[in-house]
Structure 1
Amino acid sequence: MSLVLFAHSVFALPFAFIGFFLAVSTTDVEFRWSLLVLMLVCMVTARNAAMAFNRYLDRDIDALNPRTAVRDIPAGRVTPQQALRFTIVNCLIFVVATYFINPLCMALSPVALFVVLFYSYMKRISPLCHLVLGLGLGLAPVGAYMVVTGQFHIVPILYGLAVLTWVSGFDIIYALQDEEFDRAHGLNSIPANFGGAKALRISEILHVLSFILIVLPIFYIEVGLLYYLGVLFYGGLLVYQHRIVSLKDLSRVDKTFMTTNGVASVVFAIFYLLDLASGHWFF
């Protein structure tokens, strides 16, 4: 649980529920507990694999950084071999789970795994690493919709893009903590490559885009008052996290990264699902 930071599932998992119940409420496919369980298995195992592989690949870098030296592998609580085996097992479970869902999910399972695992290499290649992380989490609503329908649809794609820009934006804020370390060790991040001030502006732009993308589904699906309240809450927390972080004081970055963003995704999903439930009964 510590190795994969299981609590961080709070970022993408609520949007997976959004994609799943969007499909149930807007198509003729009936709700099935088996599909919901399989979707959750895919979410958990894909994320476990991504995080464990990241920790495995970054173990030497983490050992050099005082902020990350306390992580499980450099601290000796988990061996690199254990982390790699854990990654492989979770990848296998993920692929097997997609086999029992539908042919499209099975066919695309290697693509999904490639995206979430390739993120771990990106910091060595390009400052666009934050966008790749966002893309990995942005697959959640798209994949969950496909679990139910076996098809793509514009609305879950909009939610996926909203997650991509939202996660990328707050990951840039999080990376401010390692700006000097990354620059000194030749690692790519937007703060290390462009400086803290420009990084914050880029993060703000990404979060404006995320808010716009959260609004756009109202032109494709019927929504009620609760949805609009969820949108306002989501936007308010995006603004809040930028107000409490400055280059002169990064002490609140952890609070921004975990608490604010976790609350944003969970509360928005709750408002969304309550709005759906006000017009639909799933069970």
Structure 2
Amino acid sequence: MNKLKTILEMIKFEHTVFALPFAFLGAILGSFVENGTWPTLMQIFWITVAMIGARSAAMSLNRVIDATIDKRNPRTSNRAIPAGEISFKEVGIFISVSFVLLFVAAFQLNMLAVYLLPLAVFFLVIYSYTKRFTWACHFILGMTIAIAPLGGWVGATGTISPVAVLLFLVVMFWTAGFDIIYATQDADYDRRNGLHSVPARFGIKRALIIARGSHIISVTALLTLSFISPLGWVFFVGAVICAGIMIYEHSLVSPNDLSKVNVAFFTMNGIISLLMLFFTIGDFLL
């Protein structure tokens, strides 16, 4: 149990809150678009299991793949694997169990979810390597996290529609934006060690501008959902509030002051994902 606790702390299991609400949002919106009703409790259950399995496997793989990099970086050298608190074998067992959860959940949902599993697994694995060869790694991470709402949609409906793709873009650019902000902390380290990121490639000032641009795209897509889906004014109000939070998030950081990056990254983005789910449910209830 102590080893399990260490692994869960290592992968920041509590940060599942970033993606899980969007998976529920995708399931709820997809069910209303395709079926005009709410997803079933069993669909929500298996979507939750799939999300927990997918994120746990992805984050654990990331820690294994980046173990050497983390050990050399003063900011991450105290993580569980570099610090010797957990072994590669123990994490490997946890990864295997996590993938089993994902596979079982997909088979319990529908065949489209099963057919899309190889694509999902590809992104869950590959994104950890992308910082080794491209500064676009943040956008590939965004695509990986955006599988959450798309997966929720597919899990509840067995279909994909243009509205689902738009929701995918909302989460993709939202994630890429805040990951670029988070990466500003390691810009100098990344340059010295041949790693790639937007801050390392373009500098912190331009990186923050690119992050703002990503969030503008995300908010635009979010507001558009109110007009091309069954969502209405309640959801639109929620989207405006979330846009305001993103503006506040960007006000917390500047090229000369990155001391509040963690507040912007963790607190603000956790609030945004929960708010969007809350306003989606509220919209359909009303």
TM-score range, shorter chain: over 0.9
The CA distance in 1 between the partners of 2:93 and 2:251, in whole Å, is 42
Give the alignment of 1:33-72 within 5 angstroms.
33-72=41-80
1:214 matched to 2:203: no
2:199 is matched with 191
Structure 2 residue identity aligned to 1:209: I
Give the alignment of 1:38-187 within 5 angstroms.
38-187=46-195
Structure 1 residue identity aligned to 2:33: T
SS at match of 2:76: coil
Q: Deviation of residue 55 (structure 1)?
A: 0.2
Deviations 1:190-221, CA, capped at 9 Å, x for gaps: 10111111111111110100000101112222
2:270 to 262, 265, 278: 262
Structure 2 residue identity aligned to 1:14: P
2:22 to 15, 28, 35: 15
The CA distance in 1 between the partners of 2:276 and 2:151, in whole Å, is 19
The CA distance in 1 between the partners of 2:73 and 2:264, in whole Å, is 21
Count of aligned residue pairs for this structure pair: 278
Give identity over the alignment, percent. 37
Normalised by the length of structure 2, the TM-score is 0.94
Normalised by the length of structure 1, the TM-score is 0.95
The CA distance in 2 between the partners of 1:209 and 1:101, in whole Å, is 31
Q: Contact 1:15 / 1:140 at 8 angstroms: preserved in 2? A: yes
The CA distance in 2 between the partners of 1:102 and 1:272, in whole Å, is 24
The CA distance in 2 between the partners of 1:79 and 1:99, in whole Å, is 31
Deviations 1:157-183, CA, capped at 9 Å, x for gaps: 111111000100010000000000000
Structure 2 residue identity aligned to 1:162: V
Q: Contact 1:15 / 1:265 at 8 angstroms: preserved in 2? A: yes
Q: Contact 1:141 / 1:157 at 8 angstroms: preserved in 2? A: no
Q: Contact 2:135 / 2:197 at 8 angstroms: preserved in 1? A: yes
Deviations 1:80-135, CA, capped at 9 Å, x for gaps: 22112211221122112211211111111111011121111001111111011100
Q: Deviation of residue 30 (structure 1)?
A: 6.1
Q: Deviation of residue 144 (structure 1)?
A: 0.7
The CA distance in 1 between the partners of 2:22 and 2:98, in whole Å, is 21
Q: Contact 1:233 / 1:268 at 8 angstroms: preserved in 2? A: no
RMSD of equivalent CA atoms: 1.3
Q: Deviation of residue 149 (structure 1)?
A: 1.2
Structure 2 residue identity aligned to 1:263: I
Give the alignment of 1:235-246 within 5 angstroms.
235-246=243-254
Q: Contact 1:119 / 1:129 at 8 angstroms: preserved in 2? A: yes
Structure 2 residue identity aligned to 1:85: I
2:31 to 11, 24, 30: 24
Q: Contact 1:17 / 1:144 at 8 angstroms: preserved in 2? A: yes
The CA distance in 2 between the partners of 1:159 and 1:149, in whole Å, is 15
Q: Deviation of residue 32 (structure 1)?
A: 2.0
Q: Give the direction of change, closer, same or farther, for the CA distance of 1:196–1:263 in structure 2 (3 Å limit).
A: same
Q: Deviation of residue 235 (structure 1)?
A: 0.2
Deviations 1:126-151, CA, capped at 9 Å, x for gaps: 11110111001111111111111111
Moved over 6 A (4+): none
The CA distance in 1 between the partners of 2:41 and 2:195, in whole Å, is 44
The CA distance in 2 between the partners of 1:190 and 1:15, in whole Å, is 25
The CA distance in 2 between the partners of 1:228 and 1:32, in whole Å, is 25
1:224 is matched with 232
Which consecutive residues of structure 1, in runs of 5 or more, have no partner in the other structure? 279-283
The CA distance in 2 between the partners of 1:30 and 1:154, in whole Å, is 19
1:281 is matched with none
The structure with more helix, counted as a fraction of residues: 2
* Structure 1 stretch displaced more, 87-96 or 32-41: 87-96
